[in-house]
Chain A
Amino acid sequence: MLDIKNLKVSIENKEILKGIDLEVNHGELHVLMGPNGSGKSTLAQVVAGHPSYKIESGELRFESSKINKLTPDKRAKLGIFLAFQHPVEIPGVSVFSVLRKVKKPRTRTSSVRGKVYSGLAAGGNLSKVRELRKELVSHLSSLKLSEDFISRPLNEGFSGGEKKRSEILQMMALKPKLVILDEIDSGLDVDALKIVATTLYHYNEVNPWSSVLLITHYARILKYLKPDFVHIMMDGKIIKSGSMKLASEVEKSGYVRFQSINQKLKIKDQKYN
């Protein structure tokens, strides 16, 4: 589904990703771990299409088409979703208004007063809006959020936990094929973590062909989710891939052990260069 080959990415002439290879197939759960500043979030943002990052070389493929140059909205339409680590505040714009616009794009006409709202009142549109609201309300209850949550301005005055759950809510509504979760577990207390993890688990049950790339510092969320692959990222590279066991090693002894692997890789690189 997602196929990344030798991806090198820079921002303001500073190389952040130094040759990433990663393949995520349908229905898989991948966990990407690594210390701060290793490039995990950059990778997430690049896959989603952040305009500030420059792809120097390499290839991003999604369902076998090359997406290097697609704008973020086109990637979203293909089925890529990023749950942000730090979702930005957007004053006056509610989750509901965003989702309504994404899910029901109104046809562009140069309609004038009267036609606009007669269209609104015509019934067809209105019933779809109601359906969406109903769907969101059911998601809200599984996320333990109150009903007025979808009308609040996005991320304005949200607690840390609300921000993360708002991201999950949007994921549930958009039903993406590839879900990238950037530190969805940070800033969550035990109960909230359990809610988020359970929701993800159910999402995977209902959408077995969807895949998840979960970026995290800690293995604690893996108490609830069973990854197919675990990757360790350091200094802009994936230095080791393996199974769940790898995450347990990190949990036990931190990233220090992997630093030596990284050193060896660097020395090897230097030899070849």
Chain B
Amino acid sequence: MSNAVAINDYKYGFNKPENYVFKSKRGLSRGVVEQISSMKNEPVWMREFRLRALEIFFSKKMPMWGADLSTIDFDNIFYYIKPTQKQGTSWKDLPKEIKDTYDAIGIPEAEKKFLGGVTAQYESESVYHSFQKKWEDKGVIFCDMDTGLRKYPDIVKSYFGRSIPPADNKFAALNSAVWSGGSFIYVPPGVSVDIPLQAYFRINAANMGQFERTLIIVDEGAYVHYVEGCTAPVYSTDSLHAAVVEIFVKKGARCRYTTIQNWSSNVYNLVTKRAFVEEDGIMEWVDGNIGSKITMKYPSCYLVGRGARGEILSLALANSGQHQDAGGKLMFLAPDTSGEIISKSVSVNGGRTSYRGLVKVIKNAKGVKCNVRCDALILDEQSRSDTYPTMQVDEPDITMGHEASVSKIGEEQLFYLMSRGLSELEATSLIVNGFIEPIVKELPLEYAVELNRLIQLNMEGSVG
């Protein structure tokens, strides 16, 4: 099949020579976990948390209800790699290789454009971190998770693992045992951070798991928008990415979390994301999944306070050999809560997308308003799309809407655009971009531009 070429020739797949201070042994054991914890000089409670999580990981079976995960070889993964001796504080201090990688993905560009503070994760640890002083003066904390644990142990201890306990699922347990890096954000009451905070992740070593851990606390009446983007270079063996993102949205606060993930086509991307939303708080997940071999990701909102609102915008694009199993969860646990899931998926060249969603309304959660919409676009006969919606509603006094559609690109649409002078590829990309437009318009400009480019790259193998 000639159209597989575009995918194997992964466009963002460049890698730099590995140059590490420390690399753990392959595979997972108590010894490896203890070593990670002691390398990081962690408090005892964290070390015990990790070891407890490891036991849970060993005891839990692989999930069988979603995508096929049988080919993950846990014994063949590096669980911790420390890239440089100490964290750089400015661009100049970074080692040249790391700078080259960032240059290639454009990190300094983003900064020049004042898009906000950048915490970029290179392998397991953040090596480059800057944050505009203005926000620090207002008490906003934005650092990598390891620094957060060191500098703000009390806040971290009271929230860490509280929305996603290690026992939640096998991969949350794995992350809890070996986590490294990720972001820690705290926004004090009433503070509205009006620029998106950005972090950028990259996996750069073969067979290395990336287990970042992010914790965001938005205190009463505060606002923050966090943007996370990922690309990974190509390796011949499979990489595992199992992240955990925990968010706490306090009374009247609002948090938006935007992700565009573009892992190379051999990465298992198994991420648990959950937000607890208190009274009148708002949580918005904008979650774009492109690339990876298998993605299983269902950002969720636990609406625990009256009037809380959760929005999940999920976008998935599956190309040849890829399975995107994505969606969202809304848990209505208080009266007058509301929420919406909008899912858009595109499958091309034999790729497979699945929408998997859960909506739960507990008894006495009166006045809940919920709307679910999932649209799938299938570009050829080899591609596939499935929908697995689940609804558990134990309260009659609610409003619930559900719409789903599956469509193909029509010959008339193609002819129309081509008659204007667009090639088949350009026309197809434009139609796909139009299909996902409701989600793209929620993205910061440079992410929207990049996403449109990625869509076109993904379409290149599919037409002509």
Binding site for B on A (CB under 8 A): 48-52, 71-73, 75-77, 81-82, 84, 87-88, 90-93, 97-99, 101-102, 105, 110-118, 120-121, 153, 170, 174
Contact = CB atoms under 8 A, between A and B. Distances in A.
B434 A77 contact: no
Contact of B12 (A84, A99, A112): A112
B97 interface: no
Contacts of A118: 106, 109
B231 A113 contact: yes
B198 to A, nearest CB: 11
Contacts of A110: 11, 457
Residue of B107, B108, B415, B423 ringed by the most chain A CB atoms within 10 A? B415
A88 B410 contact: yes
Interface string B389-420: 00000000000000000000011110111111
Contacts of A102: 420-422
A84 B423 CA distance: 19
A113 B411 contact: no
B438 A92 contact: yes
B445 interface: yes
A98 B450 contact: no
Given A111-B453, A113-B229, A71 B416 contact: no
A73 B106 contact: no
Contacts of A113: 105-106, 109, 229, 231, 446, 450
Contacts of B445: 117
Contact of A98 (B410, B415, B420): B420
B110 interface: yes
Interface in B269-326: none
Contacts of A82: 419
Interface stretch (B330-338, B358-366, B425-433): B425-433
A102 B418 CA distance: 10
Given A91-B435, A92-B434, A51 B420 contact: no
Contacts of A170: 420
A51 B417 CA distance: 13
Contacts of B434: 90-93, 97, 153
A117 B426 contact: no
Contacts of A91: 434-435, 437
A87 B418 contact: no
A93 B422 contact: no
Contacts of A71: 418, 424
A117 B413 contact: no
B436 A51 contact: no
A114 B118 CA distance: 14
A91 B405 CA distance: 14
B435 A92 contact: yes
Given A73-B421, A76-B418, A110-B11, A101 B430 contact: yes
